[in-house]
Structure 1
């Protein structure tokens, strides 16, 4: 019976990246990856998660040391690009466009998942991890010390022992099911996706030379494209294999799953909802390489770490939504925490306190990310609402979670204590602020009546957003990191207050320079809570500088404009 320090069940992105991280930081660890595949994965494996953003990209490039591979073998990604103004679906040149003007300095990538995961597997083996292929885990005995795995491989029953067991089985969710840790997010959205042969370039939606020439060639194509209307978004992602990934993600309350859950239905759905995309894709329908669906794909998990030395990572734990490409982000945070716990435990440290703190922190990140998605798909048909929301979501992400991860904050107990130990701590305040702002977007959508055609927004034009983004290239010690996040929180409070003023001027005709408490403002009830009802520490007065920044994303004419 073989004994290992760590056995990872599942050899996909989450499992192999964890093995690489562990071996890079502790080369002497004995690691076994068990995978049910009995053959090499195809070069063009079709999986969700073909696009990365800043936090996850930092993890791949720096924590895992994959910078050279990514630069030489995967496509660069020129940010996320959104096409709104759904009243103009037959003319892409008139749809409001949201995205950067060109390549961004902090890199991200479009991943060809089959090729990439094959490389991760190879790299893990080069570092000394062992791989058992074609193996089915029949039983996991967590009560034993060390843990026992009963495995069937090539028809032969075998047992393996390990001090640590990590579940990276994806939607198999082995330990989540075994330990009855299933939990709903309440976010019931469906998806269908497929790949077509060849490069699909959104510039080909139009022959308008002025529109096509607005950016350098490739800027739009190398972005992750989002076509949006009420209740759905469609993605277009270029792959290094010169194929293109197409996905439909939709709220069944508006777009029933049965309308796009087969290839023929998906193309029919595109013809009705995104006619220009359908026109470009229809000639390639016979060249579709694969087709997959997921119903109610979002799920939570009650526990991801245990002082009994097991952990859950990747989609075997919580998975929220593919919008904003967060999958690798959650893998990055989770794997980094798991690596820290395993290393400390194997060095003889009592990890009970850390396990509790890390668990509460990670699950709170998940809990406070859910409002970004839950009940927000109906907003996708409202241009001004979505331009404000996308800007807010990215500002919050760069100013807080990305900065925290890149600077090692998720495994720094002193930083976590300062940010999350009480209701008045900055991290908890940011989470509460985000929840209130998300509620405000829902409330404003009922008053958002303009399609805002011909608009273009680059979020990096907002000086504070650009600062949050550029700051991801800097490293800070613990005290500096706490100070930076507190400073960023103050800016986000001003952003929230200014958005309320704009929205309220449209919805209720209120004065443009009202004071606002961003933590208790309520657009639905027409209350800014800026009098004696709230702490003066939270009340934000009108700020010309912040107002000038919000002008960059304000598409309405007349009311509400400085």
Structure 2
């Protein structure tokens, strides 16, 4: 075996998929001259059949890809746009042939923060090329063994290349190799037990097709309903014990991904584990999707009998890290996998940067970021709790979607916009809020939803995009600061507490409406309901105190450093009312014009 350890790498990344490639690019952008090795058994020129779960991003991930990785133009030029999330439930389960056979929650406008769909093979091909051009080394081989060492000793990775075997050594080791669980198996760090997953026990089947007839889904004509595309969104379709996604992944080839997440307590693996079975399932339960896939050319079919897993540790003091599917996955609902990935990338980069720089609080950052991200993935996992009971009930699930979107837009997005997830003082507050308020609230609401489903009670359809559902024109994407208008993207430049305090206030109003719809005045006045509302309002007031402290102690102008410097420089500006000369003395411009006329015009 050839030893390549004469010059150890700063970071070795096992896996060159979305997570590993984005991690490598971020490290190189943030840490000049860092030495990075990437290892993956797939060739650089990934085929179109190198497809996998996760072709859709949401606001946090797209903001990171565009802003922090510098990929805005690349995404616009190479990947389909995404106009929010749409949700569909059959009016009658036996009739699902057209879009009119469903109740809907449509994204009715373009969102404030963009999101995008991804053609994963193309994205990974292109990003690998970019990373190599930036200086990363790529080894097209398979990791056969790793030797993890304590503290700051070098890790060793054994790699089988096509024609030889080699050993690499690195100061930091990132497992982005997906479901191979290279570090997870080595350290007994991975768990598939549903008890550690809030009972989530899911499988997934999906197909890719191309040259689809999208008019089967929608004609595209909706002059009074929306100001954005219905097709170029992530469309969610619901039924008992399952939900399906419909994602356009390529504009030129009209490629479409359609897949199902099914809960094993309602739908068995044996009933969905082949393309033929999956198509029959669509034909019987979502006929409009069956028409879509059969109108097109099939690319491939995949089935995973077991989807959900989690990790005990994400970032070790021994300088190893797990990210992406190697760390966790629970459900593709809301496309939150990319959010967990970008949170991890930010955290891992800052830990490695601090350790390579010898900063005294590097170990503290590792511990804090591990705690934050464990809490984040735990909260995302919790939001999939009892999913199977609620998915098919349009009334109950619409209330659940509304509630979860309140948390997403009011708490999580502001955290990531302001980089609060990297702030050592804020992290314990976030963890405490989740553990003392949010977790118990989610459990209580899910229990109440269970009862309402059992009663087959219709409490109305809550539309998360409209501003006529709660008081004072509230809607879930409502913003409370001017962070986006003023491009306040520097860390802590805008107050996360403003959004959080108002979100908890509106959670109180939402909860009050839920109790009223569920059981009237007696339900509102029940001691448990009053206690929960008091707890939510108390949390809002407590966070409001944090907002006051922030406004008094944090030096936060509305402008970023670059804007401040430009405004300072502009004070010296004076308009120069002259043009610079462009005609050179002594040159016969007439002869130049004649010569120019001789050049044939290309049409």
Structure number, greater radius of gyration: 2
Taking the aligned partners of 1:481 and 1:330, their CA distance within structure 2 comes to 22
Whether 1:254 and 2:260 are equivalent positions in the alignment is no
Q: Give the structure 2 partner of residue 342 of structure 1.
A: 352
CA contact (8 A) 1:396 1:492 kept: no
Cα offset for 1:339?
A: 0.5
Alignment partner, residue 45 of structure 1: 50
Return the structure number with greater relative CO, CA threshold 8 A, min gap 6.
1
TM-score of the superposition, structure 2-length normalised?
A: 0.79
Aligned with 1:136 (options 136, 139, 143): 143
User: 2 CA distance for matches of 1:466 and 1:489?
Assistant: 11
Alignment-derived partner of residue 195 in structure 1: 208
Does the aligned pair in 1 maintain the 2:505–2:537 contact within 8 Å? no
TM-score normalised by L of structure 1: 0.85
Matches of 1:534 and 1:110 in 2, distance apart?
39
Q: Secondary structure at the match of 2:299?
A: strand
Q: Which stretches in structure 2 are left out of the alignment for 5+ residues?
A: 468-472, 542-603
Q: 1:392 aligned to 2:397? A: no
1:161-206 Cα offsets, whole Å, 9 max, x none, are 11101100011110001100122323111110011111342x5247
Aligned counterpart in structure 2 of residue 16 of structure 1, from 16, 21, 35: 21
- Pick closer, same or farther for the CA change 1:6–1:264 going to 2, 3 Å: same
Residues 311-320 or 91-100, more deviating: 91-100
Spell out, residue by residue over 1:401-430, the C-alpha distance to the aligned partner (whole angstroms, 9 max, x if none): 12111211111102213333xx4x478534
The aligned residue for residue 160 of structure 1 is 168
Provide the rounded CA distance (Å) in 2 between the counterparts of 1:400 and 1:440.
Answer: 23
Report the 3-state secondary structure (helix = DSSP H, G, I; strand = E; otherwise coil) of the residue aligned with 1:305: coil
What is the alpha-carbon distance in structure 1 between the residues aligned to residue 444 and residue 16 of structure 2?
39
Spell out, residue by residue over 1:31-88, the C-alpha distance to the aligned partner (whole angstroms, 9 max, x if none).
Answer: 0101112452114531111111111111111111111101111111011111114415
- The verdict on how the C-alpha distance between 1:231 and 1:444 changes in structure 2, with shifts beyond 3 A counting, is same
8 A contact 2:11–2:37 mirrored in 1: yes
Distance (Å, rounded) in 2 between the aligned partners of 1:494 and 1:171: 40
Provide the alpha-carbon RMSD of the alignment: 2.9
Contact kept, 8 Å, 2:210 with 2:298, in 1: the verdict is yes
Q: Tell me, what secondary structure is at the counterpart of 1:104?
A: coil
Following TM superposition, by how much is the alpha carbon of 1:118 offset from its aligned partner in structure 2, in angstroms? 0.9
Distance 1:399 1:217 in 2: 23
- Which runs of at least 4 in structure 1 moved beyond 6 Å after TM superposition? 469-472, 533-536
Once the two structures are overlaid, the 10-residue window that deviates more, 10-19 or 42-51, is 42-51
Deviates more, 1:30-39 or 1:299-308: 30-39
CA distance, structure 2, for counterparts of residue 469 and residue 229 of structure 1: 35
Q: 1:76–1:538: structure 2 CA closer, same or farther, 3 Å change rule?
A: closer
Q: Map 1:278-357; keep pairs closer than 5 Å.
A: 278-284=290-296, 287-350=297-360, 351-357=362-368
Q: Does 1:33 align with 2:21?
A: no
Shift of 1:336: 0.7
Q: Paired residue for 2:287, among 275, 285, 289?
A: 275
> What does 1:97-496 align with in structure 2 at a 5 Å threshold?
97-143=104-150, 145-183=153-191, 184=193, 185=197, 186-201=199-214, 203-205=215-217, 214-215=224-225, 219-240=229-250, 241-284=253-296, 287-350=297-360, 351-420=362-431, 423=432, 425=433, 428-450=436-458, 457=463, 459-461=465-467, 463-468=474-479, 473=484, 475=488, 478=492, 480-496=494-510
